[in-house]
Amino acid sequence: MGKIVICVLVVFMLAVTVTSYAQQGDLIVNGKLGVGTENPANLLTISNAQPRFEIIENDASADNGRWLIQGHAENLYLSTTNDAGNLDKTWMRVERTGLDIDRVVIPEGNVGIGTSTPSSLLTISNAQPRFEIIENDVAPDNGKWLIMGHAENLYFSTTNDAGNLDITWMRVERTGINVDRVIIPAGNVGIGTANPIGKLDVNGSIYQRGSQLHADYVFEPKYKLESIEDHSDFMWKNKHLKSVPKASVDENGLEVVEFGNRNKGVVEELEKAHIYIEQLNERIKALEDKIVLLEK
């Protein structure tokens, strides 16, 4: 009987020693540890109606070393707390439906991938950063898009389920902070229409701004209007109107037109033609007056 009492006392003393040791330093468990449960399923299992645990970084500055992780309403929450126990009410959370994770919600702040100093809501940093967008309710091979930064430009491409890319990337080019060009190597562009039938199909008004798009200067007194004869000589010799740029072609032999200059030139020639019409009309009237005098 005495031996039994001694054994109980020894066990009790060991338990007190372990408890004291855990409070002062490390608690070493060779197996699984359950908090709020007698049947832990993992190395650490915390069970409660609203389970939470706190992580304290004891070498951080005041109010900057405490984190709370909590399970609530079937979701997982992460928040900061200070030394007084005050919480950041905008919890970061991971939401679920059954075994499926539905969303990761970060109500405030920025997310960095490949960087520890994100400057936007989402910052991806890499030598060739790319991310993929997958639409999971479409037909096979039709739901994957790639967006990539490369050689200081931004690229967009389609990809299929096997990872094959459309090598004719759409791209946005830049010089410094200025966007220079948007290049779409294939296909059509529609503005105001979902079914463009040409390379550029605009359903609506088109406005152009530039240094000089009109040709009303032909009516100014200082404008040197060539004679009808000189205008005719130039036209037949050069096979184009003087104010309309000559036809040009690219390296593939396709005609190239700069619409601003061409439209201004067409308007200039049209207004000059009306001046010539007026001049000819004055001549005709003068000749008619002479004929009337001769017939008297």
- Look at strands 75-81 and 66-72 and give their pairing: antiparallel
- pLDDT at 19 (0 to 100): 43
User: pLDDT digits over 80-103, tens only?
Assistant: 988 888 888 788 999 999 999 999
Quote the pLDDT of residue 260. Answer: 84
Query: Per the confidence metrics, is the pTM higher than 0.95?
Result: no
Distance (Å, rounded) from C-alpha 234 to C-alpha 231? 5
At residue 97, the 3 state secondary structure works out as strand
Sheet of strand 100-105, all strands in order from the earlier edge strand to the far edge = 52-56, 66-72, 75-81, 92-97, 100-105
Alpha carbons 47 and 39: distance in angstroms, whole number: 10
Q: Which residues pair with 52 in a beta bridge?
A: 70
Output DSSP code: residue 87. Answer: B
**DSSP type of residue 23:** H
The answer to whether 114 and 104 have CB atoms below 8 angstroms apart is no
* φ, ψ dihedrals at 230, nearest 5°: -65, -40
Cα 114 to the center of its chain, rounded Å: 18
pLDDT, tens digit, 9 for 90 and up, residues 147-174: 999 989 999 999 888 888 887 899 999 9
170, 157 contact by CB (below 8 A): yes
pLDDT at 86: 87
The segments of the chain whose pLDDT lies below 70 read 1-25, 211
What's the residue count for the chain?
Answer: 296
Position 11 scores a pLDDT of 40
Q: What is the pLDDT of residue 25?
A: 66
